[in-house]
Amino acid sequence: MLLDSVAPSPWWLFLSYSLISGLGLAMIFCPAATLLYGRLEGWQLPVAVGLASAGGGAGTIAVNSAMEVLLKLGWRSTQQILAGAYAVLLIPCCLVLRCLLKSEGTSQTNPKQPMGCDVKALLRPFLELKFMLFSVCVLLYIATSMIPFTHLVFYARDALDYENAAGLISVAGLGSILGRISSGVLATVIPASWIFAALVLLQGGVFFWLPFCETWQLTAFSMIYGVSSGVRVALLTLVVAELFGAQRVQALYCLLGLPMGLGLVAGPPLAGLVFDLTGSYQAAFLGSGAAMVALLPLLALLFRRDQRHVGSGERDDQSVADKSVGSPKSPLAELNFQSDSEGPQENSLA
């Protein structure tokens, strides 16, 4: 953010804000999203995941509200103030993490243990049919679901002259908190994959509704969109655990960052291009809803196949999975994904 505040050109912002900040967020978010796996199990895991992820929604509200006030000082000053606030917050976070590592006996590493990564082994899960299909689903879902997050304020302010356009993101942040907490509780009694399929259907429906929203209806859309987006954030790791096993979550969820990133790169810019060509967001929003609904058959096939194999006691695609990253037999998993020296632990979802 300090680099952003002294940007002399848009290309500088592309490097500092998009590239460097994006890499930093990826290195923070992926480990944080999978931190609880291997430490909790049973019904405690989905509840804890939902509660822990709720902080992201609270942060959306806090930062968006702060920026509305700070922008009166200028965007450069706003970036500098936010950078200082994040630096102050980093200190207690590091202290808490250090205490946790000490309590688990993992603060010291074995200097003789080889460190490294086999790129072929790292990417091998993409050879699994089930993981490849799930990656395609995630790519299409992220590409469409992030379009309102990027364009909603501009649509409400410029196309509809809605006075409270900036507040829509805060409403979505509040809905995100509710969605994250409630989905964690629901996942204790309903399979996470079923909830995920339901939220895809819900988001597809509200996307069809968005082009016809006016004034207060935009606020209602933002709340529904925020709830469904929060459910996605909390559920995705649980769905990965349900499909591939809790012992592989840390590895496979990080690999899902590739289709997520591609979806973010493709979806919102494509919607902007449609707006430039047509002068309206209607085609972009309706197309997003259609793409979301089109995902349902693929998700149903994927989840039904997994449930059938679980019911018969089979392990699908293990000929490749046993050699892949995150698998209990993978040397890479032993190097990078064990939190202590006592060996892999068995984890389960409720």
pLDDT digits over 70-89, tens only? 878 887 888 888 888 888 88
Counting the structural domains of the chain, the total is: 1
The whole-number pLDDT of residue 72 equals 81
Query: At 349, phi and psi to the nearest 5?
Result: -100, 155
What digits encode the pLDDT tens for the residues 300-314? 888 876 655 554 444
Q: How many helices (H) and strands (E) does the chain have?
A: 15, 0
Instruction: Give 45-61 pLDDT, tens digit per residue.
Output: 788 787 777 777 677 67
Q: Is residue 126 part of a domain?
A: yes
Q: Tell me the C-alpha to C-alpha distance, in Å, between residue 31 and each of 16, 28, 67, 176, 238.
A: 22, 6, 27, 20, 14
| Domain-located, residue 267 | yes
CA distances from 128 to 59, 120, 192 (A): 36, 13, 21
* Residue 179, in any domain of the structure: yes
Q: ∠ at Cα 345 (340, 350), nearest 5°?
A: 135
Residue 111 pLDDT greater than 60, yes or no: no
pLDDT at 163: 74
**Model pTM score:** 0.71
| Paired tokens of 148 | 């309102």
pLDDT for residue 57 = 66
Give the pLDDT band of residue 104 (cuts 50, 70, 90): low
Residue whose token pair is 């449930």: 307
Mean pLDDT of 33-55: 75
Mean pLDDT within 336-342: 40
pLDDT in tens, 233-262: 888 888 998 888 888 888 888 888 889 889
Domain contains 203: yes
- With bands split at pLDDT 50, 70 and 90, how would you rate the model's confidence at 286? very high
Q: Could you tell me if 148 and 207 are in contact, meaning their C-beta atoms sit under 8 angstroms apart?
A: yes
Report if residue 341 sits inside a domain. no
User: Residue 65's closest CA among 218, 171, 162?
Assistant: 171
| Other residues' Cβ atoms within 10 Å of the Cβ of residue 310 | 14
In a domain, 76, yes or no: no
- The per-residue pLDDT for range 137-152, each reduced to its tens digit, is 999 999 998 898 888 8
Question: CA 172 to CA 160: how far, in whole Å?
Answer: 18
- Quick one: what percent of the chain has pLDDT higher than 90? 11
Residue 152: which domain range?
42-58+122-330
Residue 117 pLDDT class (50, 70, 90 cuts): low
Question: Mean pLDDT in the chain?
Answer: 77
* CATH assignment of the domain containing 148: 1.20.1250.20
- Residue 217 forms part of a structural domain: yes
Tokens of 93: 């976070």
pLDDT digits (tens, 9 = 90+) for 147-172: 988 888 888 887 777 777 778 888 88
In a domain, 2, yes or no: no
Q: How confident is the model at residue 348 (pLDDT cuts 50, 70, 90)?
A: very low
